[in-house]
Amino acid sequence: MRRALYQSVREIFVPPPGRVAVLDGVRATAILLVVIFHSFFLSYYVLDGSGAIQAFAERTSGWLTWAWNGDKGVDLFLVLSGFLIARLLWRQLEASKRIDYPRFFGNRLLRITPLYIVVLVAAAAVGFPNRERFWANLLFVNNWLPFEQMFVPWSWAVTIEMQFYLLAPLLVRLVHRAPGRGLAALAALIVAGIIGRVGILAANPDYAAATLLDFLTGQRALGIAMWDDLYVNLYTRAGPLLLGVMAAALVERHGDLLRSLQSRFPRLMNAAILGAAALSILVVTSPLMLATGEKSEFMRRLIALHWVAGRDLFALGAAVMLVAAVLELGPGRLFNRILSARLWFPLAQTSYSIYLLHIFFIGAGYYLLRGGTRGAELALGEVGFVFALALAASFAAGVFTFALIERPFLKLKGRGAAVARAGDEGGRVNSGRITIQALAMLLVSLMVAPNARTGDDARAIVLESIEYWRDSSSDAQVRMTIHRSDWERRLTFCSITKGNKKALVRVLEPKKDAGSATLLMDDQMWSYTPKVNRVIRIPSSMMHQNWMGSDYTNSDIAKSDQIVNDYSHRVIEREQSEKQVVHVIESVPKPDAPVVWGKEILRIRADRLLLGHDYYDQENRLVKRMRALEIRPMGGKSTVVTQRMEDLLHPDAWTEIRLDSIKYGLSVPDSLFQPASLRGAPDRKQAPGVYQPCP
């Protein structure tokens, strides 16, 4: 056992003879790009509000723009995967004139599924959402689900590779039989993918000018929609895989021709290879994905071009460099020398483990730094720490998983190949047996999966909904209509919030109520009435009393997050609304919570907009209901502009709130949220970007 473990670890650090070393460098480069990208991208969860995220992105643009484009590392993985699989199948055809399908698929399952299943079970055990969709990952169809229903969403890349393996033998056989027509067919498929993306953008005009920074600073719903339509589907991401297949065909069938062309036309070939390298570098260093706000027509066209063809252009450059490096054509000799360095080999050997595991460690790194809290700033050194921690920890875990999980299954894979070489018929039987073993492992995992389910993280959804509503800060002017069967009353008020614990609401109209104000600070609330000129502290027992005679409570108006901690939450159903998932969450008060409701039911859309809120009394009767009536962009993101609260115990009694204006992410001074501020309107500060209250 000890010797076997030593041999497994040794295989990670000691390269075997006869390998194509340049491929190790390509694989290592790809995983480094992915880990760097996610280290930057996931800073979203520790920065407080869209303004902080935009400031951090602007501060790390320029020479670090490539880090924000590091998701191209996945495209590099896909090029390499297409190249390796096509080369493997090509050599099978050369040796035996056929492809052993059972052995091919069995080997792919043995390579991909053991560690994948362990990671899925671990993610379910630690509470990742959507655990009930475990089956979709095991069947490699999780990329067909909407983002909000995906379990371990970054595993989409594993899924499209497995989907590609179903088609790869047919594609390689086509190119092998008729190289000219086969390569033309692959090129046609790439062009078809580009045309398909043009169609998607034409059907969804908002996609054309959207950027990564837009998604992080208020347009989350748009980002999720683009993820579902453009990012995770085989038909939109097949270009790099197909270019990898074409690269393999060029190396295997036309390698001598390419070497001859290099000898006869060195300048032309060198220019083509360097041009391809420049193309990939241009795409990965482009600042397009960090553009936000209003964009010129020229900028919008460039962004649309990026979505339509940017990944394929990057992959084209990478495929050309890969061919040049493998065949050592002109500048490819330098690429080969750099990428064949032995230091890449351990990273390449553990790259699959690192890909599956690094997200866990990035999350842990940010938690170590921030303790689960958000801040207005993030130092570049902190991101560097998270990257280094994630890379080192996932590599160490990769050594462990390779030795104890991956290598034993790879031995089965090798045994199947050895038996297949011993005899054609025996090869079929034994490779089929290995495939059955792999499928049996999947079935066992399917039985384990339901037991791993512990329910959705409903509390997090509720908290995120409140945080989306409030943002890092907000300043809104609101009209309220209080309706009863025999009278109606109208108010206009200003609502100012900062974080989750500070809010100031001041009535502006009508004149007789103007100046009345409510303050929430931490878990305490105060009220001010000009007629008596007194500031009164509101006890927690009165948080659920009606505000200004409306159907909204003091807690509702102040946007309190009391429900997050005083209630237990669970997802009881999922609905659909305008092609988005709606989480139906039951919130039940904890035994000692100072609340009046028996339970509350919230309907929260995938983009975290609150669509509905039902209130039940202690006898489980539905007594009050809020519904979102109008949703549209305001303040730079989708917002519930109009909502209505109905009193179901009194006919024709309701209160409607409508936003006239709202601003998010302003610099609001903490001094505003003091009881002393209740008596008078805050002073305006005219400095650009600094808080200016609504009139």
| pLDDT exceeds cutoff 70 at 454 | no
Which of residues 373 and 167 earns the better pLDDT score? Answer: 167
Same domain, 560 and 451: no
Lowest mean per-residue pLDDT among 333-347, 522-536, 588-602, 653-667: 522-536
Q: Does residue 289 contact residue 69 with C-beta atoms inside 8 Å?
A: yes
Decide if 661 is inside a domain: yes
From 415, 436, 455, the end of a domain falls on 455
Provide the whole-model pTM: 0.66
* pLDDT bracket for residue 439 (50, 70, 90): very low
Same domain, 299 and 234: yes
Q: Does residue 361 contact residue 38 with C-beta atoms inside 8 Å?
A: no
Name the amino acid, one letter, at 8: S
Lowest mean per-residue pLDDT among 382-386, 489-493, 649-653: 649-653
Torsions phi, psi for 342 (to 5 deg): -65, -25
* pLDDT bracket for residue 682 (50, 70, 90): very low
pLDDT on residue 574: 84
Same domain, 449 and 481: no
Mean of pLDDT values over 411-434: 43
| pLDDT exceeds cutoff 80 at 572 | yes
| pLDDT exceeds cutoff 70 at 685 | no
Same domain, 419 and 488: no
Which of residues 39 and 667 earns the better pLDDT score? Answer: 39
Q: How far apart are CA 187 and CA 154, in angstroms?
A: 28
Residues 6 or more apart whose CB falls under 8 angstroms from that of 358 comprise 34, 35, 38, 390, 391, 394
pLDDT on residue 45: 87
| pLDDT exceeds cutoff 60 at 243 | yes
Mean of pLDDT values over 370-377: 86
End-to-end CA distance of the chain: 75
Which of residues 201 and 437 earns the better pLDDT score? Answer: 201
Decide if 208 is inside a domain: yes
Decide if 472 is inside a domain: yes
| pLDDT exceeds cutoff 70 at 560 | no
Decide if 404 is inside a domain: yes
Query: How would you classify the pairing of strands 599-605 and 610-616?
Result: antiparallel
User: C-alpha distances in angstroms, 41 versus 143, 251, 290?
Assistant: 20, 36, 12
Task: Determine the structural domain holding residue 499 and report its residue range.
Answer: 462-679
* pLDDT bracket for residue 559 (50, 70, 90): low
pLDDT on residue 693: 53
User: SS3 for 523?
Assistant: coil
- The kind and range of the H/E element at 644 are strand 637-647
pLDDT on residue 593: 74
For the record, the structure tokens of 67 come out as 């880090």
Mean of pLDDT values over 368-387: 91
Decide if 551 is inside a domain: yes
Same domain, 431 and 477: no
Q: pLDDT digit string (tens) for 491-548?
A: 998 888 887 778 888 889 888 888 888 888 876 788 888 877 888 877 655 666 777 7
Same domain, 442 and 468: no
Q: pLDDT digit string (tens) for 71-117?
A: 999 999 999 999 999 999 998 888 778 888 888 988 899 889 999 99
Q: What is the CATH number of the domain that holds 605?
A: 2.50.20.10
The mean predicted confidence, pLDDT, of the chain is: 85
| pLDDT exceeds cutoff 60 at 597 | yes
pLDDT on residue 546: 79
Decide if 4 is inside a domain: no
Number of domains in the chain: 2
| pLDDT exceeds cutoff 70 at 458 | yes
From 413, 434, 455, the end of a domain falls on 455
User: SS3 for 611?
Assistant: strand
Decide if 368 is inside a domain: yes
Decide if 321 is inside a domain: yes
DSSP state string for 454-465:
----HHHHHHHH
Same domain, 414 and 538: no
pLDDT on residue 444: 39
Examine residue 682 and say whether the peptide bond preceding it is cis (omega within 30 degrees of 0).
no
| pLDDT exceeds cutoff 70 at 418 | no
Same domain, 409 and 552: no
Same domain, 450 and 471: no
Same domain, 523 and 430: no
Same domain, 398 and 515: no
| pLDDT exceeds cutoff 90 at 268 | yes
Which of residues 364 and 606 earns the better pLDDT score? Answer: 364
Q: pLDDT digit string (tens) for 346-359?
A: 999 999 999 999 99
From 455, 489, 512, the end of a domain falls on 455
Mean of pLDDT values over 50-71: 88
Same domain, 432 and 537: no
| pLDDT exceeds cutoff 70 at 262 | yes
Mean of pLDDT values over 329-350: 94
